[in-house]
Each structure stands twice: as C-alpha cells, then as structure tokens.
Structure 1
Amino acid sequence: MTKQVAVILGGTGMVGANMAQLLDQVGGWDVTIVSRRAPEFDTRARHVACDMSDPDDCARVLGAMGATTHIFWTGHATGTRWVDKAARDTDLFRNAMTAIEPASPNLVHVCLLQGSKYYGRHLGPFKTPAKESDARHFPPNFYYTQEDFLKQLAQGKRWSWSLMRPHIVCGYARTDINLPKPIAVYATLCRKLGLPLKFPGPEAAYRAVHCASDVELLNKGMLWAATTPSAANEAFNMVNGDHFRWQYLWPRIAEYFGMEAGGVQQIDLELMMADKEPLWDEVVREHGLLPTPFSEAANWSFANYAFAPTWDIMLDNTKARRHGFQEFVDSEDMFIRIFDSFRRQRFIP
C-alpha cells in the first residue's frame, strides 16, 4: 500500500489547522502544511513556507514534493474585493497545482474547499435547499474558475477530486473568520456595559433560516471524501445537518453568557466597535484573560457579513448521506461547545 502523504495548501487557517490536527489524531499520515507563515497551533505536521501567488516559488517548493498522495486545498486570498477574488484565488490554486501535480506520480486525490457562495448566497435570495446539482449563478465566482481548472487538470489522470461546500465554518480556533468569536466578544462587552444581548443584524435575518458547519465535521467530511472511492469526483454540501433561526438560538446564547436576550437592534458592528478597545482591555485585566489585542479579538466586518442575510440559507446535505457520510452536529450545541472552549482558553471570562 502506498504511504499516505498529505499536503495541506494554505494550512494555517481554521480549516487547514483542524485538518492537520485530525490527520494527527487518525494516524498513518505524513503531513506537510504549506503557507507563507508558520502554524501557531500544535501539530506533528511539518511546515514549508511558500508564496503561492508566486509561480516560481511554487515550482521551487511544491515541485519538490514528489511523494504526495493527497492534496487538501484550504487557502484563499485575503484583503481583496469579491470581484477580484475570481482571478486572485484561482491564480493561487493554479500556481500551486501546476507545480505539485506533475511532480507527484503517486497522487490519489485532490480535495478543493468551496462554500455556500457557490450558490450565490452573497448575492441575495437563492434556491433553497441548495443542491450540488444546482445551476451556477452569473459570474464571477472563484469557486467556478478553480473547479473548472481542477476538472481540466484531472482529465486523463489516475487521481480523483472532491468539492466540499460548507457554510459559516465554526470552530475552536481564535482565527479571523470564525463567527463564534465576534459573538463571544460582543456578548462579553454588552455584559460589561450592563446591556441585554441584542441581535445586531436585520429583523428579517433574525427570523430567516440559517445553517452552519462545525469545522470538525467539515474536516471529517474532507477526509472521508478523499479516502472513499464512491465519493470520488463529486461535490458535497458539508453542513451540520440541521437548520436554525437566530430568534430561537439567540436567547440560548444570551442565557449562556448570563444575560437577558434583548431582541433585535441592527447596528454596524465594525463602526460601533471602533472605540471599544479600552473597554476590552479593561475586561482582559479584570478577569486575567489571555492578552489579546482588540484588533485580533474579532473580525467585525465578517460579523456584519454573517448576520446580514435576510433570506433563507439552506444547504441540502442528503447527497453526502447517500454516499455514506453519516456524521451530523447539533448547531445549537456547537455554539455552546465552542464558547466553552473559548473560556477554557481564557479568551473570554
């Protein structure tokens, strides 16, 4: 049997980090994380620095990884507008794959991480529940250009691919794009000010149907698709398996933080949090928390984005079940479990 050698491209974000840790736990994997910066989490995986925006750097670094059997793409361009991402993110993926694929004669599988924007979730109301077979929306969309490149690259090759489509990935990591993180900081500051916990998005968003993806469930799904022959060359929605409305989940979140749920008060979190650094620093000192700069405590722009949709967001995950992936997560319990982890990490009181 060929030794399983995984390369996680863009592996220092939440999905890549948890993927490396899952492979650590499973055992039997030789893992390399490829990214510009070194990992800040515990893992047995080695790290190799590479600027995937530079084709020459990719050729030098990734072209030397000839033992690779499995590739997990979890990277993305940062600091770019949506209209620019189709080119930027596709270039990153193309540069990396163009270097590593021809140099890897034992390649078995490539797992490409996508998301709910595949269905136009960022543009407005879309067909729900979204199915993997749904038609594409009017471009640009970097998920489309990456997918098309991958399928073209795979033609006539022995290796297979999978496409994973989560929505609002949530986890224990205190990384930038992680919705439980701004919720926890927002609740902590509201409690400090003696305020009820009001939902900061629109009234219609409070009542719409939403879904989420536990990062651990997503990683298990990625590993399953990468090692299950019947899942080869397929796209899978990878969500928890349930749906929720904030109007019913929000009171439980307020209860967790020992607060009154205050209904809806739509605010621009990025604007309203602009002067809250001294308040956060005071909370950190009072409770002896892990010193975390307020600029790193939460991504308020992402929180605005996550709370904004006034339309239902539902991804159908029955296809994965039909192919044999039977894992599921209760989204309400997921949020509470992640908040518990933040307390254990001394990120919040």
Structure 2
Amino acid sequence: MNNQRVAVVAGANGVAGNKLIEELVETGWQVIGLSRRGGKDRPGVRYLSVDLHDKAATLALLKPLDVTHLFYTAYQHADSWAGLVEPNLRMLDNVLTAAENASRLEHVSLMQGYKVYGAHLGPFKTPARESDEGHMPPEFNVAQQALIEDRQAGKSWHWTALRPSVVGGISTGNPMNLALSLAVYASLCKELHLPFRFPGKPGAWTSLIEMTDAGMLAKATVWAATGTAAKNQAFNVNNGDLFRWQEMWPKIAAWFDLAVAPPLPMSLKEVMSDKAALWQDIASKHSLQENRIGHLAGWEFVDFVLGWDYDMFADGSKLRRAGFHHYCETEQMFYRLFTQFRQLRLIP
C-alpha cells in the first residue's frame, strides 16, 4: 500500500505557494507544483505548466496523479471586486474536480485573506475573528469557501481555510510581494540619492497593521492539513505582533542606510512607470539576477496596502488554541527577507 503523501500546490510560484513547496519537500512529501509559468524540477517536486481556467487541460494533467492533498493558493487578478469572483471560482472548481478524481484525496487547503471580513472595502471590525458575520457579496474568498463546503458534504476528505494578512516571502514575477517591492523602492531611492519617503495615505502612517511570514504560514498550512484539530474550519494566520508604519518605516530605511523624510502621498504605480530603464542600469551595475522591474515590484499592490488608512488586523488566537504556536517578529522578518533578496542578487 502506498503511504506516500502526494501534494498538489496550485499557484506554485506565488509568495505563499513557493514557501509551502519548500516546507512540504523538507518534510518528505512528493509535490506537484501547478502554475502558468511552470518551474524547474528538483528532488521531491515536479512543476507542471497549466492554465487552471482550462478544465479539460487541468483534468487531463492531474488524472494520472495519485493526489492525497490539494493546497490551493492560486489567484487571478481582475479590475473589479465583482470581476474576481468568476475566474477565481472557476479555477478552484476545475482543480478541485481533478483532485477529487484521485481515490486517495484526504485534504483540501484553501488560501484566503482578510477580504472575507471586508477589509478591502474600508474600515472593518478589528480584531477580525473567524466567527464574524459575513458582508454583502461579491467576494471571491467567500464564494470559494462555499464551493468547498458544498463539495465536501458527505465526502471522506476534509478542508481548511487559512487567512493570512499581507504575506512576506520570496517570489519573483508576483504582483503581491510587498517586502520585495519595498526593497526595490528603497534601492531606487538610494540610486537617486533620495530619502526613503512613505508614499501611502496619511491615515495609513499611524494605523495598526500586521503581516504573515510565508515560512510560518507554510508550517501552519501543513499542520492544518495533517492533524485533526483543524478539520473543516477557517483560521486567521498572522505573525502575532502589530506595528505602525510610522515606527517600521524608519527601521527599514536604516537597514538600507537611507535617510527618511516626511511622508508624501503619491501613487507608486504612476511615479515608477518610467523607472524600467533605471532599474536595468542598476541591475547591470550590480550584476543582479533580474533586470525587469515589473518582475520584482508590484506597485499597484503596494499602493493598495499603503492606502489602508484604518486598522488592519485579525485575532490569531483560534489557531494557537487549536495547537499551532509558532510566532514571528515582523521587524526581524523584514530584515531576514531583505538579506535573502541581496543574497539572491535581486537587489543591490
């Protein structure tokens, strides 16, 4: 009898998916990573290139795989909140259908976020808790969970929904990597001999916010998928500390040896629109691995996060009461990630 756990990670090249694959391989799993871009195979992990919107292709690709666990971290961007629902629901439906065809399916893990609580719409109840009442749709995270709950009824497999805050990790070609985008912004400031200014809304400077370390999130995801305490439940996953940008921003500036100046609200998407050539020069001067600034920084996402002029945090105690006790200090997470970005030659 085959007792080997076989995981399919949809969204393998994202900030969360990339680190989750590392965690799974390190703990002895066989992993299949799904994404449009594919990836370079290595011991324990095989990457497959697929468009999850294509049901026939997804079913055909996963049919021969003896899947025991599906970890769903994929995401399709759209220009409106309503527009996010259909493509993201369709992708999940397709890969879930394919995974259910496997006779050994044990668990489905869904990566969500604080949009479940309406955090993207404006000031919301904080700390947000998993038991909070829902809000007016459309919201794709909620629709995805409803799909999974409906499909799981009467089945032998179970599910868990993980709800991280902004995830800090290592991933390129991803528009939702805040830490890497800030590192690129700081590097541009240094090249131009400019101070490191906070570009967000005035209220965001003083509001409370939290983050989620990708490594800790990966451990929580595997813990939830392999134990009994997390079956058919949702959990907030956060580092366990809160911060304000007015305190964190000077510390990030100091790490990059940059001066700080008073905040100046501006759209990074706009002011960075002409910086592609400058980054190419920086990459050439410092022998960096990536000279395409758009593959490193997601300015629209940074504008979004730094536009939260209200508190943005959730109660993570349910996860810890269930038995997961890992913690990460956010300030040290930033320093560790910046160091890794340099070691990987992503920034000077």
Q: Could you say which TM-score interval applies, normalised by the shorter chain?
A: over 0.9
| CA RMSD across the alignment | 1.6
Matched AA of 1:130? A
Change (3 A) 1:37 1:289: closer
Distance change in 2, residues 1:98/1:270 (3 Å): same
* Counterpart check, 1:287 vs 2:286: yes
TM-aligned CA deviation for residue 255 of structure 1: 0.5
Say yes or no: does 1:156 pair with 2:154: yes
- For the structure 1 residues 280 and 43, does the alpha-carbon distance in structure 2 shift closer, same or farther, using more than 3 Å as the test? farther
Q: Take 1:40 and 1:304, find their aligned partners in 2: how far apart are those partners?
A: 32
Residue 194 in 1 paired to residue 198 in 2? no
Moved more, 30-39 or 159-168: 30-39
Partner Cα separation in structure 1 for residue 296 and residue 30 of structure 2: 33
Shift in CA distance, 42/311, structure 1 to aligned 2, threshold 3 Å:
farther
Which residue of structure 1 lines up, in the alignment, with residue 110 of structure 2?
112
68-77 or 278-287, which deviates more: 278-287
1:23: which partner in 2? 24
Matched, 1:184 2:183: yes
Amino acid at match of 1:10: G
User: CA–CA distance in 1 between the matches of 2:4 and 2:278?
Assistant: 52
**Residue 38 of structure 1 aligns with which residue?**
38
* 1:190 CA drift (Å): 1.1
Structure 1 unmatched ranges of 5 or more: none
Alpha carbons of structure 1 residues 52 and 291: separation in structure 2 relative to 1, 3 Å = closer
Q: Give the drift of 1:49.
A: 3.0
Compared CA separation, residues 292 and 282, structure 1 to 2 (3 A): closer
**CA drift at 1:170:** 1.0
- Counterpart amino acid of residue 12 in structure 2: G
Aligned partner of 1:225 in structure 2 is 224
Query: Which one-letter code corresponds to 2:310 in the other structure?
Result: W
- For the residue of structure 2 that corresponds to 1:325, the secondary structure is coil
Q: Which amino acid aligns with 1:4?
A: R
- Look up the SS of the partner of 1:39 in the other structure: coil
Alpha carbons 1:20, 1:43 under 8 Å: kept: no
Deviation at 1:80, TM superposition (A): 4.6
What is the TM-score when the length of structure 2 is the normalising length? Answer: 0.95
- Show the counterpart of 1:13: 14
- SS at structure 2 position matched to 1:229: coil
Distance 2:269 2:230 in 1: 41
Amino acid at match of 2:115: K
Report the alpha carbon displacement of residue 309 of structure 1 after superposing the two structures with TM.
0.5
Q: Distance in 2 between matches of 1:80 and 1:94?
A: 21
CA distance in 2 between partners of 1:300 and 1:185 (Å)? 10
| Post-superposition offset of 1:6 | 1.0
Number of the residue aligned with 1:63? 63
CA shift, 1:289, in A, is 2.5
Q: Output the CA distance in 1 between the equivalents of 2:311 and 2:132.
A: 16
Name the structure 2 match of 1:144. Answer: 142
3-state SS of paired residue (1:198): coil
* TM-score with structure 1 setting the length: 0.95
Kindly indicate whether residue 317 of structure 2 is the aligned counterpart of residue 330 of structure 1.
Answer: no
SS in 1 for 2:243: coil
Q: Residue 133 of structure 1: which of 120, 131, 134 is its match? A: 131
Structure 1 counterpart of 2:76: 77
Structure 1: which amino acid aligns with 2:11? Answer: G
User: Per-residue deviation at 1:43?
Assistant: 5.8
1:297 positional shift:
3.0
Mapped partners of 1:195, 1:119: distance in 2: 38
Q: Secondary structure at the match of 2:6?
A: strand
* Letter matched to residue 266 of structure 1: P
For residue 280 of structure 1, give the secondary structure of its aligned residue in structure 2. helix
State the 1:46 CA deviation: 1.3
Instruction: Tell me if the contact between 2:11 and 2:17 (Cα under 8 Å) persists in the aligned partners.
Output: yes
Q: Percent identity at matched positions?
A: 37
In the alignment, the residues of structure 2 paired with residue 61 and residue 95 of structure 1 have an alpha-carbon distance, to the nearest angstrom, of 11
Which deviates the most, 33-42 or 321-330?
A: 33-42
Segments of structure 2 that go 5 or more residues without pairing to the other structure are none
- Cα deviation for residue 123 of structure 1 reads 0.1
Report what 1:312 is aligned to: 311
Task: Report the Cα distance in structure 2 between the residues aligned to 1:88 and 1:292, rounded to whole angstroms.
Answer: 31
Q: Deviations over 1:231-261 (max 9, x none)?
A: 1111000111111100000010010011112
Comparing 266-275 with 35-44, greater Cα deviation is found at 35-44
1:114 touches 1:164 (CA, 8 Å); kept in 2? yes
1:298-335 deviations in Å (ceiling 9; x for gaps):
11111111111000001110000000000010011111
Return the offset for 1:58: 2.3
The separation in 1 between residues aligned to 2:20 and 2:300, in whole angstroms, is 26
**Structure 1 counterpart SS, 2:281:** helix
Structure 2 Cα separation of the partners of residues 24 and 145 of structure 1:
30
Per-residue deviation, 1:127: 0.4
Change (3 A) 1:278 1:47: closer
Does structure 2 conserve the Cα–Cα contact (< 8 Å) formed by 1:6 and 1:68? yes
Query: In the alignment, is the contact (CA less than 8 A) between 1:74 and 1:112 conserved in 2?
Result: yes
